[in-house]
Structure 1
Amino acid sequence: MKQFFTAGILAWNELQNDRSMPWKQEKDPYRIWLSEIILQQTRVEQGRPYYERFISAYPTITELADAPDEEVFRLWQGLGYYARCKNMLAAARTVARDFNGRFPGTYEGISALKGVGAYTAAAIASFAYNLPHAVLDGNVYRVLARFFGIDTPTDTTAGKKLFTQLAQDVLPVQQAGTYNQAIMDFGAVVCKPQTPRCKSCRLSSQCVAFQKGLTDLVPVKSKKLRIKKDISIICC
């Protein structure tokens, strides 16, 4: 089942994935990192022009590190959450100062940068260096939960541990970067939160949620479960 899943994601990516973004296929870790920071809590359509403006203004991480705070904040205006921008500048200056402008080449080195969490570190490590670290974002949670029929809440300690291990188990280590991008794209355009394209999905024959009619019920979040329980108590 796991092999079928991985092979299906890679086949879909090669034959059907036409989702276009300016940072896809990018190997420069600086540009990948910049796109990931911009896209934290920001939709792709909104983040795209910001990414292009930042790359135009600061082609290298050293140039970003040398830029005055006020200049960078002006370019960031409209993205909100200025803490992200401050962390981005701090990370750029760490790379410029401590790594002579060369972006760290290990997962541990990347994750030590200010504002870089587990997902962002895995994305940069796999996209830039093809290191075998699985990404785990909302799209990936949804695809895994539906295909494998997992109802363990994703926002619990047990759920995070389960999905983290599963995401790593289905990762093809020789194609980590390609697969990571593919599964996120798959979640965005096929296994969508609303109106997923199940009938044309190449994974549907073994997808537990589709076969059992659970597509609208997974993934599960414990907070939503508590709210539903509270509402039922009030109503009844």
Structure 2
Amino acid sequence: MTARNFLVRGLLVGLLSGFAAFLVAHQVGEPHVDTAIALEEANAAADAAPADHSGSSEEDAGPVVSRANQSTWGLLTGTLPLGTVLGGFVALLAAMAAGRLGRLSPVQSTAVVAAIGFVSYSLVPFLKYPANPPAVGNPDTIGTRSSSYFALVLISVVVAVAAVLAARAAAPRLGGLRACVLALVGYVALVSLAVVLLPTVDEVGDFPGDTLWAFRVSSLLTLAAMWSVIGIGLALAVDRLAAQDRAVADRRAFAASL
């Protein structure tokens, strides 16, 4: 097994994960986006003062990209590249981790890498800064909100990597289980501190809570679908690679015994 073998399979699995994420987002998430857009347009119409409608304006021209294209091809062109990049990146990390995480087999270490990636890169930042539908959030604070989100992503990923390295170094002295528990406690403690120190965003306003909740659940399901396909698909691909390597080794051993 080589890093190239991991990468090629990771990119293919990542492409498949992007399509899976698109299906979940389109079927589960897009109806809530439509509801949010309808609420936004209704509020804008209610707040607008009577205006002179003689003549055309840029607002009357409609969106540059239609809503139908946004929810189909536009969404797909967002999920496919993201899934492909994540799949390739996880595959490279899995190649680096193979044989270096205690007694874990390459398949098991690949699954662990994918699980750590989902938690540190997607789940933890989402819990602090969940996705918002249209009509939620102040446009003037988008820069601050984005900076805080990416800061938490960076902190979470760096601390997760440090926790894995610390557990690997401590395993010979403390044992694998104790080292993993201590690393997990350290990760939770440091990330919790970062979550407390980073600014809290509360710009929901009077947006309907049930629609907001449904949208956020669908967003989390989309992320979970993407990472599940990456983790399971890459683990199966690595298992097949390992089986091929074992078959080659067995043939060579048999040939050498003749």
* Range into which the TM-score falls when normalised by the shorter chain: under 0.3
**Bigger-Rg structure (1/2):** 2
TM-score by length of 1: 0.28
Task: Write 1 or 2 for the structure with the bigger share of helix.
Answer: 2
Q: Using CA pairs below 8 Å that are at least 6 residues apart, which structure has the higher relative contact order?
A: 2
